[in-house]
Structure 1
């Protein structure tokens, strides 16, 4: 039951990373926020979450696991209600910051419970459930948010956390024993690392989320944040080198087994959040899918994970975990490559097979990578490993989204210009086509018709360019996934004859 409590908390926090995205346009309108201002509703959550995830293990050592989960579960529920009742941008952003801090604490704590509270014979099953939550959260979030917004109101995207939060706190109280607190850790803390990590991860996340909108380094705002992030990183490194008792022992990143897990988690996070972002964007821009329709297509990614859970115990006992993770990246690459040939005619039904293949790769890569993360360090380092592993996945997601937005924008322009240039080089045919369109659309007024014909042609080029840009991004993902395969063989293998995590 303690594992159930941790898993519920992790699912609640993971869902809230993406559930608001579908309701964001509606929320912006009702609280009087512009499109640029409204992005802070998402950014505030991500910044707070990425800061808190690696610090959760330290907070558990200070307060004890039971007290920590009760505080975070109660606070997360309260901040969710604050967001649902808010009628201004300031209140909403404060609520989202609170959600991010408390939700960020719930995500790694679930893996800590599994690694430290379950008997060895049950840990792999617990880790599989945690991995399934990590897969389902980004996929289910948009469709659930879209459904609640379309059928009820955007407020329920936040109110849904009330019964879940109450259930979480009740489970924690009923199943987890009270532990001895060590409040002295707070006063002996390695505050250089805390300050450095907060500045480094917080500023970096804002740069990644707001960079494209601010035109990257053309903006003094982005330049200042980048400098702040670099300074934070230097402070963090100095704190790690000088502290007697580091808040989080980041040295495990330089161990071969966990270092490979950390690196692969960055790339899996980029793919997990990136593909879940690209599909709805593509379908909305080219085929006018609403959030619910695009969410139904994206849900295909989760089907293989649900179906494969039954064979997970057999796979973990019989097959080398390194082969399973490598196979996951192969399926990831194949599925992404299948999507590298999409055009403006590609619609939801054309994604069925590629998404099922990607979903199978997602299951193998992510869930067995969770297994590798838990087995790569000794039990007394489980809290630090869980925090770093989950932070890497979320940071990878932010990096992936920043790359996607930048590449899609630049490649859309590139392809649109290429199509326009091709028409110019075939001037006689182009002029004949434009004349024909002008006659059809002008209603006898050739000047009006020519304007409409050129606008229609430009819109066609833009649509084709957008489709090709997303195809380019899927191709890049396929290459990135193939490059991950050698790193899978640096992971620490599990015992051949046991369903355990050492």
Structure 2
């Protein structure tokens, strides 16, 4: 049986083709380790600059608004390349493609570490995004093509751990390196890791032939559409909030470019002999459910990793390291649960596990709705642990569902679509949460002010007491009013953060029923895993 016929007529995955042994050898596991390390490097570097951003901005002479492009440029490049990795791996061969990606990722990391200007840093970050983005979905491709189905859950657990740990470790590692050494080491740390990765790729992946004829007959309309559509949309989502959305001509132009890109992708799907990304996979009920659940999961993962540090910095006056430690709590369940993943996969219905994960995620956000101005990091411990457990149940098992719901031939396209959906969900979630937060903060601020009566004796007495601490007079009165507005603003911020968590709770619950569309793994598959 060929790989192309590894899906039965009723859509259920069949056992692996004969060319994949029933038990993976050392080389195959070295390949899986390489995929996991590459994925960890790429996801870690999304957020590793966040903690050291003020320091980097000062040294390269960038303003606060310009500094945001250090993260945005990486994210835009990554989101563009992720869906294209399946095609690029076919053209150049998976081994050759990943070796080039690992080498240039390391090289661009050095460029970032040596940067003395904003332009040089952005070049390095774009290069990191392109090459790092190539290493995320290909980790799933290695698992699907190098491991028999009986051992895929172990590989998927390792990959899932890297995807979960990368975003939570990034701010912590970046903050620690900046505080104890220098921000340059947030990039230079990739050099020894990159060397190890290259060695593992050389040892763990078989040589494959290139298919350069695919460059001639490629879906270039789709490739260009991906660049314009996903690139334009990501910049709109990242910059829209700062630019006041469609009040800005810049956002309007980018939106038109993004729309044009998506129209080109659609045309490629219709007219290309082999579209650059196989969107037809979304017609399959089980893969579509995986894709949309992964998108919401991305919004939840990146959204809470954004909201919680913002709250701790703005309300509790935590520094980046302290906030990073609270965010890191979500990774604890991932590390503890990894050994149990294959057992759960074999004995519990996929839909039950993912459904439980969605409920835990919704519960973790619901718990955080009741925040107050006195809340501190300790108040997030329970919700963070629940969030981490929910993320494990969703992410690891959706990773497995993504590769088991498509044929081996489609593993690259499926992995690219799933990971692109997760990252795009993160961008959409961040943009919506930031916009909601600002809008609700202003609403709550003026609602509280309007409820304060200028004729209130209690208020007048309090203002008088605060004024006298500054000696009274006009200066004292101004100080008292500023202090009152600061207290109102703090309470408005807390209420706005609560609104963010309310929105996350509702969004997760709305999409949770999609778990019913997931296809359980075949009985013979589970029997192999349980052995």
The alignment's TM-score, normalised by the length of structure 1, stands at 0.98
Match of 2:251 among 215, 222, 237: 222
TM-aligned CA deviation for residue 427 of structure 1: 2.8
Question: Which residue number corresponds to residue 29 of structure 1?
Answer: 58
Are 1:189 and 2:218 counterparts?
yes
Q: Give the whole-Å Cα distance in 1 for the aligned partners of 2:250 and 2:449.
A: 35
Pair 1:369 & 2:398 matched: yes
Match of 2:356 in 1: 327
Residue 431 of structure 2 is aligned to residue 412 of structure 1:
no
C-alpha distance in 1, partners of 2:232/2:206? 38
Match of 1:480 in 2: 507
Query: CA separation in 2, counterparts of 1:261 and 1:430?
Result: 55
Q: 1:426 offset after TM fit, Å?
A: 6.4
- d(CA) in 2 for partners of 1:199 and 1:87? 29
Say if 1:48 and 1:100, in contact at 8 Å, map to a contact too: yes
Moved over 3 A (4+): none
Q: Match of 1:450? A: 477
CA contact (8 A) 1:420 1:461 kept: yes
Q: Tell me, in whole angstroms, the C-alpha distance in 2 between the residues paired with 1:282 and 1:450.
A: 30
Q: How does 1:149-298 map to 2 (within 5 A)?
A: 149-298=178-327
The equivalent position to 2:163 in structure 1, one of 115, 120, 134, is: 134
Contact 2:467 2:477 in 1 (8 A): yes
Residue 188 of structure 1: how far off its partner (Å): 1.1
Query: Within 2, Cα distance between the matches of 1:250 and 1:83?
Result: 35
Whether contact under 8 Å (1:143, 1:295) holds in the other structure is: yes
Retained in 2: the 8 A contact 1:17–1:45?
yes
Q: Once the 2 structures are TM-superposed, how far is the Cα of residue 73 of structure 1 from its aligned partner?
A: 0.3
CA distance in 2: counterparts of 1:43 and 1:305, whole angstroms: 27
Residue by residue over 1:397-417, the C-alpha shift from the partner in whole angstroms, topping out at 9 and shown as x without a partner, is 000110111111111111111
Please say which of residues 245-254 and 399-408 is displaced more in the overlay. Answer: 245-254
Deviates more, 1:200-209 or 1:285-294: 285-294
The residue that corresponds to 1:359 in the other structure is 388
Residues 499 and 216 of structure 1: CA distance in aligned 2, closer, same or farther (over 3 Å): farther
Aligned ranges 1:78-97 → 2 under 5 Å? 78-97=107-126
Relative to structure 2, which stretch is displaced further, 418-427 or 407-416?
418-427
Instruction: Return the offset for 1:248.
Output: 1.5
CA distance in 2, matches of 1:442, 1:156: 46
SS of 1:147's equivalent in the other structure is helix
Distance in 2 (CA, whole Å) between partners of 1:310 and 1:112 is 21
Which one of 495, 501, 506 corresponds to residue 468 of structure 1? 495
- Uncovered stretches (5+) of structure 1, i.e. residues with no partner: none
- Contact kept? 2:342, 2:529, Cα under 8 Å: no
SS at match of 2:527: coil
1:82-121 aligned at under 5 Å gives the runs 82-121=111-150
Q: Distance in 2 between matches of 1:499 and 1:29?
A: 56
CA distance in 1 between counterparts of 2:100 and 2:527 reads 37
Select which of 65, 71, 96 maps to 1:67. 96
Match of 1:303 among 332, 343, 348: 332
Counterpart in 1 of 2:372? 343
Provide, for residues 6-41 of structure 1, a one-character-per-residue CA deviation record: whole Å limited to 9, x for no partner: 110010001001111111111111000011111111
Deviates further, 90-99 or 172-181: 172-181
Q: Is the 8 A contact 1:124 1:499 kept in 2?
A: no
Q: TM-score, normalised by structure 2?
A: 0.92
Query: Which residue of structure 2 lines up, in the alignment, with residue 396 of structure 1?
Result: 425
Once residues 357 and 7 of structure 1 are traced to their aligned partners in structure 2, the CA distance between those partners, rounded to angstroms, is 24
**Structure 2 portions without partners, runs of 5+:** 1-29
2:24 equivalent in structure 1: none
Looking at structure 1, the residues matched to 512 and 455 of structure 2 have their Cα atoms a distance apart, in angstroms, of 45
The CA distance in 2 between the partners of 1:290 and 1:426, in whole Å, is 40
Q: How many angstroms apart in 2 are the aligned matches of 1:32 and 1:57? A: 39
Deviations 1:177-205 (A, max 9, x none): 21111111111111000011110000000
SS at match of 1:287: coil
Give secondary structure in 1 for the equivalent of 2:71.
Answer: helix
Instruction: Give the equivalent residue in structure 1 for 2:10.
Output: none
Partner of 2:518 in structure 1? 491
The match for 2:14 is none
Match of 2:344 in 1: 315
Aligned-pair CA distance for 1:390: 0.3
Provide the secondary structure at the position in 2 that maps to 1:244. Answer: coil
Count of matched residue pairs: 499
Q: Write the distance in 2 (CA, Å) between the matches of 1:424 and 1:48.
A: 52
Shift of 1:455: 0.2
The alpha carbon displacement at 1:119 in A equals: 1.4
